[in-house]
Structure 1
Amino acid sequence: MKVIVIAGAAHALIASISQEFGDTAVAWEDAGEGYQQGIIAGVTAYFENPDLTPELEHQKWVEAKQADGWVHGDAIDTTPKTHPLLLPFAELPVEHRVKAAILHAAVHELKDLPDADEAAAVDVAAALAKVPARQAAPSAPAGPGKIVVVYIGRKPTYTDHLYGTGLSFRQGQERAMPAEIARKFLRHPDMFEEGSAKAVADAPAKSDKVEDKDEDDDTTRQLAAAKKLEDENREKENRILDLKQQINIMTKDSLAEYAMTNYKQNLDKRKSVAELRQAVTGMIDQFGVV
């Protein structure tokens, strides 16, 4: 159970550094099963192979994803299988490389901890993983909790795919956005700079009853659309995880019925239940949840 303790400690460190990059820190229990499994898998991999480096561990993850049909894309999407981090380690955003290094360091520094029973390990991990959110530094009052960002890049237009916001910019365009998102853009001083809040503050209020289709700063709408897509993708991913867990406890008859009902596929019940579960899982990966 040492792995669980180290996973909790690693999460605490990663969540803390995430705040430095403008991300929101969440407690371990709120991080989602997929995230938790990823951290635990990383800790386990470093335990099993002490010579493993963050670069090699990432490459193994990329190869496993690609073998499962995933390709690089602008956002995480289970249909089709796309993921923005399916890149060589050196091309990952700096925050992801830092987090990978933290996980690696946590395992090597804590690997000699004494083993604990399962209940104690879970309690310790939960305590370690409760990272208090720090107050963000004050910024220009571009609306409550917002910072104005100006696009100054060389290209005439830019659309964000790195941080999943989907925001588009024209050269010189200002957008007032939540501070945690703005700070991500401002990590790239060759492309973005902090703007003045005055233009935003002085802008006339829009009537709720009038739709202004020519409104220049549609940041809120674009962010809402990106958030909706992110939530939908997360929901799809969670449905797939839940379904796979159900598959892992199904009997042969249940598996055969499920495959026929949902995928019109006949299963050979002479095969072992493990083989049938693997076959049905493959159908889910190939065709999605139906």
Structure 2
Amino acid sequence: MKIALLASLAHGMNIAYCASIGDHSHMPWEETPEELKKSLAYGVKLHLENPDTTPEQSHESWLAQKETDGWVYGEIKDLENKTHPCILPYDQLPVEQKTKDYLFKAVVTLLKDLPDPDDVSALNGELVKLQLQVAAQKAKSQSVGATPVAGVTIVYQGPKEQYQDNLYGTKLVFNRGVARTVPSNYAKQFLSHPEFKEVEAEQTASSEVQDDTAEILAQQEAQKKKEQERQDHIFNEVESIKQFGTKKAVTDYIEAKYGEKVNPNSFKLDELKDKAVEKVRQFGVI
């Protein structure tokens, strides 16, 4: 699921950072104990559900969880004896340990809109059903009545008059008290929050249902596909730049594509390649 994916990415970042400061004690995700994985997942969920959580608050939450599980302070992290050098108030942590909390928050914040890999295939199938049924529904005369849409019908009952989903990347807008039918994988995610509840589609009048779900999800999928194509294009262009064998080839490329003249004698070949790659990443493929 998505939380596990973000937890593994944050863990990978932490391994790299720790290695950079001489700490090689961390294990790969596949070898990490389940207790630590659960702790990382808890941290990810905290930031997803509470985006304003500070690194200090994140540490306090982690500390409370560890103490509840029986962990105590110790100069050496010991999984068996449950000792950890970070079982301290935030203001007593060394700066390198505080940095970990900042990096963890950054990873979750930057990657929170990644699609859930477990949901992709299910979403595609249900999205097709939604699109087909919406098209069929629009084709029928008004006298025939509404055709139930595939998926799960849910309703938002939170404190806001209107809620837009940015957590799961659907961009769906929910009007309070108005039902919306969504693919079951998304319904499961929404229903994990108390602001949402499931309702029976046949008990909801057509005038009380938002029926633009398929169109909105299709737009999001199209945008994701377009962005992926853009990233692939950039990746291919960067790989092409790496193949340049002379300074002139790189400077000619920069001038032809981005209109900037560069003196080849002022840079090494690799520096020129880096300059060209920077142009591609900043301005796109031209």
Q: TM-score, normalised by structure 2?
A: 0.50
Taking only aligned residues, the RMSD between alpha carbons, in angstroms, comes to: 4.4
Counterpart of 2:164 in structure 1 is 159
Alignment partners' CA distance in 2, 1:93 and 1:52: 29
Partner of residue 262 from structure 2, selected from 242, 267, 282: 267
Which gives a bigger RCO, structure 1 or 2 (Cα 8 Å, sep 6+)?
1
Counterpart of 1:280 in structure 2 is 276
The structure with the largest alpha-carbon Rg is 2
Alignment partners' CA distance in 2, 1:186 and 1:163: 12
1:219 corresponds to 2:223: no
Partner of residue 196 from structure 2, selected from 187, 192, 213: 192
Partner of residue 255 from structure 1, selected from 250, 253, 258: 250
Q: What is the SS of the residue equivalent to 1:193?
A: strand
Mark the runs of 5 or more structure 2 residues left unpaired by the alignment.
27-42, 50-61, 63-78, 80-116, 123-147
1:242 corresponds to 2:236: yes
CA-to-aligned-CA distance 1:94-123 (integer Å, 9 cap, x gap): 6xxxxxx9xxxxxxx9xxxxxxxxxxxxxx
- Of 273-282 and 240-249, deviating more is 240-249
CA-to-aligned-CA distance 1:219-258 (integer Å, 9 cap, x gap): 1111111111111112112211222222222232221121
Taking structure 1 as reference, are residues 162 and 37 closer, same or farther at Cα in structure 2, changes over 3 Å only? closer
Alignment partners' CA distance in 2, 1:149 and 1:168: 12
Q: TM-score, normalised by structure 1?
A: 0.50
Counterpart of 1:118 in structure 2 is none
- Code of the aligned partner of 2:285: V
Alignment partners' CA distance in 1, 2:213 and 2:228: 22
Q: Which aligned segments of 4 or more residues in structure 1 are displaced greater than 2 angstroms?
A: 36-54, 88-92
Q: Share of identical aligned residues, percent? A: 24
Taking structure 1 as reference, are residues 282 and 132 closer, same or farther at Cα in structure 2, changes over 3 Å only? closer
1:181 corresponds to 2:186: yes
Q: What is the SS of the residue equivalent to 2:264?
A: coil
CA-to-aligned-CA distance 1:53-108 (integer Å, 9 cap, x gap): 99xxxxxxxxxxxxxxxxxxxxxxxxxxxxxxxxx9786326xxxxxx9xxxxxxx
- Code of the aligned partner of 2:231: E
Counterpart of 2:47 in structure 1 is 92
- Code of the aligned partner of 2:222: K
Give the superposition deviation at 1:50. 7.0
Q: How many matched pairs?
A: 178
CA-to-aligned-CA distance 1:107-159 (integer Å, 9 cap, x gap): xx9xxxxxxxxxxxxxxxxxxxxx999xx9xxxxx654x11121111111111
Per residue, is there more helix in 1 or in 2? 2
- Code of the aligned partner of 2:47: L
